[in-house]
Amino acid sequence: MASIFTKIINGDIPCYKIAETDKFFAFLDINPNAKGHTLCIPKAEVDKLFDLDDDTYLELMAFSKLVAAAIKKAVPCKRVGMTVIGLEVPHAHVHLIPLNSMEDARFLSKEKLSDAEFQDLAAAIRANL
Ligand code: AMP
């Protein structure tokens, strides 16, 4: 069965899209640690990041770096952190999280955003790509 992220790539589930290439996709995390929390994924449905072939892994890092730079310009923060977990969704993904304190990296306190806030954030990040 297709992962929830494959369904997002295919447009079967809505998302707040940030970027797309032939191999990669980026969108806002629906339950963000902080405003601008973004997920970068390969379109290939591979569960674990370190099981990606080397080329795809390195290209995902390069794609994530571009997205992180756009987040940094669009979202006030000290830095953009990168985290890999994968306990919830078995489709490799990189979390890019605008950090102002260690709390933002802990996946415990979450931001509740309106649809309009998600849309504005996505548009602001896209504008800086
Ligand atoms: P993990 O697999 O533990 O790295 O966490 C998966 C992440 O995917 C969590 O931060 C979720 O909030 C996020 N997530 C799950 N479903 C969606 C969705 N439909 N749209 C955006 N983000 C999602």
CATH of the domain at 48: 3.30.428.10
CA of 41 to the centre of ligand 1 (A): 11
The structural domain count of the chain equals: 1
Which one from 37, 91, 93, 95 is the annotated catalytic residue? 93
* Domain of 43, in residue numbers: 4-126
User: Is 93 annotated as catalytic?
Assistant: yes
Does the CB atom of residue 84 touch ligand 1 within 6 A? no
Q: Which of 5, 65, 12, 51 is nearest to 30 (CA)?
A: 5
Q: Residues 35-91: pLDDT tens digits?
A: 999 999 999 999 999 999 999 999 999 999 999 999 999 999 999 999 999 999 999
Q: Is the pTM of this model over 0.85?
A: yes
Contact call for residues 18 and 26 (beta carbons, < 8 A): yes
Region 6-12: mean pLDDT is 98
Q: Is-contact 93 42, C-beta < 8 A?
A: no
| CB 31 within 8 Å of CB 4 | no
Q: Residue of the nearest CA to atom 20 in ligand 1?
A: 30
Confidence of residue 1 (pLDDT cuts 50, 70, 90): confident
Mean pLDDT of the chain: 97
Q: Which residue shows structure tokens 């993904």? A: 93
Residue 125 tokens, joined: 């990040």
